[in-house]
Amino acid sequence: MKTTFGQIFYSSLIDYAGLFPPSQLPASTAFQNYRVYQRGEDSWTLRSYVTTLEKLREIPRADLEPLSPENPLVLSLVSRDPASDLERLWAGYENFFTKGSFHLSAVEAVVPPESCAGSTPLREWIAQVKRAGERFDCPPTLWAELPRERYTDQAETSFSRAAIIEEFAINARHTDALVGMRLGGLKIRCGGMPSELVPYGIPSPTWLAETLQRCGEHALPVKLTAGLHRPLSAFPPPEQGIEPHFGYLNVFLTALLARRGSISTAQLTTALQSPATPTLSEGNQSLSWAGYLISCKELQTMRHEIALSFGSCSFTEPLVEGRKLGLV
């Protein structure tokens, strides 16, 4: 039976990304997996099907025909050229959208490096993507990711990460967002990056803490992806030769702490790396973790306004690991 904490935290938590590394399943297999998960007992934890336009095209049309408004394919489109891909998506699948068997919930795109040079090019890029998305009856939400080179701790000489996040927040709050496509927030990659860019393929805890802190200061929601198969982080000493990883519980709860405010970057960095096992209160109305007490009311706010979901190439592994801790 789902706990109160589990019902809140795990509801629509996972964006299934079986097409992407390390799973890299064939498009037809990943699609069929998603359909099975939609009908399974854990369907309440499933959010969207993450795909590129190219991979969507690899699914046979015959497999798509059974989709219906009652059980649609909820898409999150990953794109290097979102404006173009949105136009091609509509042209190729208009009938699926008009009859309600497709629902495009999100577009996930890395901001081109040249668009991160200042406020004007960044605003122009966002506006271009928004225009392309407004042809959909229910326009998707844009989740913008920083270019890979912005994931390092090196000193920034151009338009800073903090300035980009502030610009995102201004755009997300803009009144025009009430109609048509809107900027949802910042997509943050927590793993799966080239090791020559960042050690072990993950951003440093300090970088992630600073980024979450900036988002918290500006009330900018985040969406996470990559490397978050386990609830708790592990950062063993380097001499052990074990690769570190972030836990999805650590990242989500640290994002909540960052939104609370009155907490230092050092404290957020410590929270991100904490191996502490969470403890549910009697009646499961609050969670004690890493020296912090978090109420179910705060958890609800977090899931709706602070950290919305995370992409995973495995749908089952995060849930199996969560059940081991008694959270699901």
The per-residue pLDDT for 156 is: 65
Would you say residue 179 has pLDDT above 70? no
Q: How far apart are CA 306 and CA 259, in angstroms?
A: 8
Q: Alpha helices of the chain — where are they, by DSSP H?
A: 4-9, 27-39, 53-57, 61-64, 82-98, 119-133, 161-173, 205-217, 248-260, 265-273, 296-301, 316-324
pLDDT tens digits, 27-83: 999 999 999 999 999 999 999 999 999 999 999 989 998 999 988 999 999 999 999
Q: Average pLDDT, stretch 210-219?
A: 96
The per-residue pLDDT for 1 is: 38
Would you say residue 176 has pLDDT above 60? no
- Burial track 185-217 (b if 16+ CB lie within 10 A, e otherwise): bbbbbbbebeeeebebbbbbbebbbbbbbbbbe
pLDDT tens digits, 235-263: 988 778 778 999 999 999 999 999 998 89
Would you say residue 157 has pLDDT above 70? no
Q: Average pLDDT, stretch 204-233?
A: 96
Q: How far apart are CA 6 and CA 127, in angstroms?
A: 37
For the chain, domain boundaries: 4-324
Do residues 206 and 265 touch, judged by C-beta distance below 8 A? Answer: yes
Q: How far apart are CA 134 and CA 128, in angstroms?
A: 10
Would you say residue 17 has pLDDT above 90? yes
Task: Output the average pLDDT for the chain.
Answer: 91
Q: Average pLDDT, stretch 96-124?
A: 94
The per-residue pLDDT for 180 is: 73
> HSE on the CB side for 3, CA within 13 Å?
19
According to the CATH classification, is domain 4-324 in 3.80.10.10?
Answer: no
For the chain, the C-alpha Rg in angstroms (whole number) is: 19
Residues 6+ apart with CB under 8 A from 314: 18, 23, 229
Do residues 236 and 244 touch, judged by C-beta distance below 8 A? Answer: yes
Q: How many CB atoms lie within 10 A of CB 137?
A: 9
Q: How far apart are CA 96 and CA 77, in angstroms?
A: 15
pLDDT tens digits, 264-314: 999 999 999 999 988 888 777 788 999 999 998 899 999 999 999 999 999
Residues in the chain: 328
